[in-house]
Amino acid sequence: MRFSRKLDVIGVHAEGEVGDVVVSGVLDVPGETMYDKMIHMWSTNDQIRQLLLNEPRGRSSMCTNLILPPCNPKADAGFLIMESEEWVPMSGSNTICTVTALLETGMLKMDEPETKVVLDTAAGLVTVTASCENGKCKSVEFENAPSFVFGLDVPVTVPGLGTLKVDIAYGGMMFAFVDVSAVGLRLEDHYENGTKLVELGERVKKAVREQSMPVHPENAAIRGVTNVVFTTPLTTDPLRDCKVTKNATVVMPGRLDRSPCGTGTCARMAVLHARGLLSVGESWINKSMIDTEFTGRIVRTTKVGEYDAIVPAVKGRGWITSFKQVVLDPEDPFPEGFRVGDAWGPPNLGLKEGVFRAYKEGRQG
Ligand SMILES: O=C(O)[C@H]1NCC[C@@H]1O
């Protein structure tokens, strides 16, 4: 049988969020940076993302990562991140999944008890420290690109919800943070509130994008809020002597992140630091809707353009779940997979075009 596509994929999840890793079957693409490579893949080879993430091979609640040679000589490996609606510059759960796969399959040498890895991503270099024991990656801590706040208590008028105060921050992607009590819900039960949280999150996201369009000062193609996080206030867990909170992160195409969301954790740290609620060096625990945990820590402060910023670190665990070969039969009627409205929201029209336009303008300087 001759297949049109054959990909070797490692199934992985990080604190519940699936981030499979493509380790062979895709050749390198041109690009001075991984962001260039991301745009190249998105514009010329997006069929891979569609094939892997759309049904029948994929589902709305998953992501997939693509291992490619790095551009930066300081990096041990490069990887690009595919999500349901877009290729994204950076992702916490996907970084943890990718490092777990690279180390536990020997693609990168594992040192015990600690392995240092430098990854080249579309958001730049990411330094990783993995705690390893008996061939297992026990935890992965990544130091993310700088995170910063665009605005605190930004008024946003949302249909049916009146005017909400949202915090807007960047942590590898753009986030809007809303106190879940402001929408009259609680985070205790994802069976009871999950669908409602997603519907409200998508409504808030649409309103925020219509009323505010933050642009990353160092990359104009990184623009606009794409995820909404419903938050609860920080409390202190006396048994763990640590600040703790829970969140529900609504990601595209309209579903809950199964992990606490690493980039969202980074952006939240920028907000907590700006509000004087988290200090440099202080750790805190961010829980997901299924009570899995990321531990966040502010490494140091910095600047991004005119913005006061922090360098965040996030730690979590990943587990390999499968080794699979994904193929495309040339007679398959769905070479880019398909979607059905019971599990997918409407396509996010204009997102790709907006990113490409900004990228082209940015390249033209
Ligand atoms: O942890 C994160 O940052 C990712 N989780 C799924 C969506 C985000 O990219």
Q: Cβ–Cβ contacts within 10 Å for residue 2, how many?
A: 6
Residues 6+ apart with CB under 8 A from 48: 5, 7, 22, 26, 41, 66, 82
Decide if 212 contacts 151 (C-beta within 8 A). yes
Give residue 93 CA to ligand 1 midpoint distance, Å: 5
pLDDT < 70 stretches in the chain = 364-365
Residue type, 75: A
User: From the CB of 93, is ligand 1 less than 6 Å away?
Assistant: yes
User: From the CB of 296, is ligand 1 less than 6 Å away?
Assistant: no
How much of the chain, in percent, has pLDDT values that exceed 70? 99
Give residue 40 CA to ligand 1 midpoint distance, Å: 22
Give residue 249 CA to ligand 1 midpoint distance, Å: 9
pLDDT score recorded for residue 345: 79
User: From the CB of 144, is ligand 1 less than 6 Å away?
Assistant: no
Give residue 364 CA to ligand 1 midpoint distance, Å: 30
pLDDT score recorded for residue 189: 83
* Ligand 1 atom closest to Cα of residue 81: 9
| Count of CA atoms in the C-beta half-sphere (13 A) of 325 | 7
In 27-182, which ranges are E strands?
63-68, 77-82, 87-88, 114-121, 124-133, 136-143, 147-158, 162-170, 174-179
User: From the CB of 316, is ligand 1 less than 6 Å away?
Assistant: no
* Ligand 1 atom closest to Cα of residue 14: 1
Residue type, 49: R
User: From the CB of 60, is ligand 1 less than 6 Å away?
Assistant: no
pLDDT score recorded for residue 79: 98
- Residues 250-275: b if buried by 16+ CB within 10 A, e if exposed: bbbbbbbbbbbbbbbbbbbbbbbbbe
User: From the CB of 202, is ligand 1 less than 6 Å away?
Assistant: no
Give residue 109 CA to ligand 1 midpoint distance, Å: 25
What ipTM was estimated for this complex?
0.98
pLDDT score recorded for residue 365: 56
CA distance 243 to 234: 6
User: From the CB of 140, is ligand 1 less than 6 Å away?
Assistant: no
* Ligand 1 atom closest to Cα of residue 257: 6
CA distance 61 to 290: 14
Locate 214 and state its tokens: 């933050």
Q: How far is CA 125 from CA 65, 119, 142, 202, 334, in A?
A: 16, 6, 10, 31, 36
Residue type, 284: W
Q: Cβ–Cβ contacts within 10 Å for residue 168, how many?
A: 21
Give residue 355 CA to ligand 1 midpoint distance, Å: 19
Give residue 183 CA to ligand 1 midpoint distance, Å: 23
| Closest C-alpha to ligand 1, atom 6 | 257
**Active-site residues: which are they?**
91
pLDDT score recorded for residue 360: 85
| Closest C-alpha to ligand 1, atom 9 | 91
User: From the CB of 247, is ligand 1 less than 6 Å away?
Assistant: no
Decide if 269 contacts 278 (C-beta within 8 A). yes
* Ligand 1 atom closest to Cα of residue 262: 1
User: From the CB of 227, is ligand 1 less than 6 Å away?
Assistant: no
User: From the CB of 121, is ligand 1 less than 6 Å away?
Assistant: no
Q: What are the tens digits of pLDDT across the range 234-267?
A: 999 889 889 999 999 999 889 999 999 999 999 9
Please name which of 137, 139, 138, 101 lies closest in space to residue 119, comparing C-alpha atoms.
Answer: 101
The enclosing H or E element of 323 equals strand 318-328
Chain center to CA of 66: 14
* Ligand 1 atom closest to Cα of residue 90: 9
